[in-house]
Amino acid sequence: MSALCRRDDIPAGQAIECPDPGDPEGASLVVLEADGHIRAYRNICPHAGRPLNWAPGRFLYSHGQLVCAAHGAAFRPEDGHCIGGPCRGASLTAVAVEVVAGEVRVVG
pLDDT in tens, 11-36: 988 999 999 998 888 889 999 999 88
pLDDT for residue 53 is more than 90: yes
Band (pLDDT 50/70/90 cuts) for residue 108 is: confident
- Contacts for 25 with CB less than 8 Å, ≥ 6 apart: none
Looking at residue 1, its pLDDT comes to 64
In angstroms, what CA-CA distances link 104 with 65, 74, 76?
Answer: 21, 24, 20
- Contacts for 55 with CB less than 8 Å, ≥ 6 apart: none
Backbone angles phi, psi at 87, to 5 degrees: -120, 30
107 vs 24, which has greater pLDDT? 107
| Cα(29)–Cα(95) distance, integer angstroms | 8
Looking at residue 63, its pLDDT comes to 85
Looking at residue 98, its pLDDT comes to 96
Domains of the chain: 3-106 (2.102.10.10)
| Cα(62)–Cα(84) distance, integer angstroms | 14
